[in-house]
Structure formats: structure tokens, C-alpha cells
Amino acid sequence: MVPETPEAGLDTARRDAALRYAGAWGWPVVPGVGLRQAGAPAGAPRRTLTLRPAAAPKPAGPAACACPDPECVVPGAHPFDPGLLAATTDARMIGWWWDRRPDAPVLLATGGRAPCAVSLPAVAGARALAALDAQGLRLGPVVATPTRWALLVAPYGLERLGELLYAKDSVPSSLRFHGEGGYLPLPPSTTGTGQVRWERAPLDDSAADGSARPWLPDVEAVVDALIEASTSMPGGGSRLAY
């Protein structure tokens, strides 16, 4: 039987966040593969329960992904089992996933009716936010890791994005576009690059139907600043850092 409530004493921060994203905002989520425990074989996502108040031991070196790829470039921060197509807003399924794996990263399945995102290296992200703030542009949520920042934007299709980028003189390869079929780790996840946090916290936007969801800008409103900030980095923004 699928459990409806977590066991007493479990760390439920990721479970609670996943349920809020899905239930209050309608964002489909799926658990990420997570990080491998010391001595654990590759290819098996972490399934141990994290109890309070004991803290998880810190790895001695770079964190290894629990997937079978020893050179995974996004350790812990991608779907594996279940896959991305399993992303859902169903509270019962979400509760079951995180009851079994409370330390699993929370991944947003981007595109469709869910938010999309544009991510770039952290230094360029800070520059871009400063430039957008100077323009007085209203921003939506911004997700940050130690290596990359991601600006959440309103859903866009590949055709629309292609037309937008085709009109630009150049687009740095360090920019990543998270649209249909993509995903993005959300706070309070922990991945191989470190803790995922809100650089700009979501602000609810009350809709006509009475729902409250974070407000999202159009991708056209932010892409020029993101390209400029990335291009101004050493190497012209050609280095793709995860």
C-alpha cells in the first residue's frame, strides 16, 4: 500500500517542497537520482532514510552520482528511476517517492504548462541579474547552485525559442535552455555541485481563478541580458560549466 504520511522523525523538507510545487503551483516534479553513498555500487539511487538530528557525513572528495555513469556531468541532478516522463503533480505519488527516498533531489519537469528556464554560469548570472535590476525589469524565481544560476520564465516552445535565438548575432554555448523535455533541480535539493537555493524567491501571483502561482517573465525579456553577461565572461562564454 502506498503510504500517505512520512514516518515520524524523517527529514521531510524535500517532500514538503515537492508537494508545494506540485499542489499549490501545478509544477510537475520527479525525484532526481541523488548521490552515491560511500561504498555503495553505482547505478542504485540512495534509498536510506535520513533521520534527525544526525547529520549526513560529508564526502571526502567530489560527490559521485548514483547513476551507472562514472563520469556523469550532472551528478545527482538528473532523473534515473523513475524517468522524466513520470513527472507528476499527483500528491499521493509524490508522497510515496519521497517517503522512500527523503534525500532525493526535487526536479522540475520544464516545458508544456510548467515553467521553462534559462541557466548560465553563476558569475554571469550575478551580472545578468544586476543588469536586469538596473533596467527595472520584474523578475521571476531564480534558482542558484554554486556553479550555475537559472532564471525561471514563462513556458515557451522550441519553435519560438529558435526564432528568438536565430535573430541574435551569437549565443554563448554556456547558456542552457530548459524547455519541453528538460528538467531543473529546485530547492532544497543537494546535488554534486552543492546546495540548490533560491537566489530570488518565488512571489505568488494571484490569478483570476483564485490560484496563486509564482509570476514568470517571458524569455524575450531576459535573454539579451543573459547573452551579454555570458559573452562578457573570459572566453566569450564558450565554456559550458555545469
In a domain, 242, yes or no: no
Supply the pLDDT for residue 192: 93
- Residues 193-228 pLDDT 10s: 999 999 999 986 655 444 578 999 999 999 999 999
In a domain, 152, yes or no: yes
Supply the pLDDT for residue 55: 46
In a domain, 69, yes or no: yes
What is the value of pTM for the model shown?
0.82
* pLDDT value at 13 more than 60: yes
In a domain, 171, yes or no: yes
Number of separate domains in the chain = 1
SS3 42: coil
Select from 31, 32, 42 the least CA-distant residue to 64.
42
Most confident of 75-84, 169-178, 226-235: 75-84
- Residues 90-118 pLDDT 10s: 999 999 999 999 999 999 999 999 999 99
- Say how far apart CA 210 and CA 79 lie, in whole Å: 32
- Say how far apart CA 112 and CA 110 lie, in whole Å: 7
Most confident of 11-25, 33-47, 203-217: 11-25
Q: What mean pLDDT, rounded, does the chain reach?
A: 84
Asked if 180 and 161 count as a contact pair (C-beta separation under 8 A), the reply is: no
Q: Would strands 106-110 and 182-186 be described as parallel, antiparallel, or unpaired?
A: antiparallel
Supply the pLDDT for residue 8: 43
Q: Which domain holds residue 87?
A: 13-231
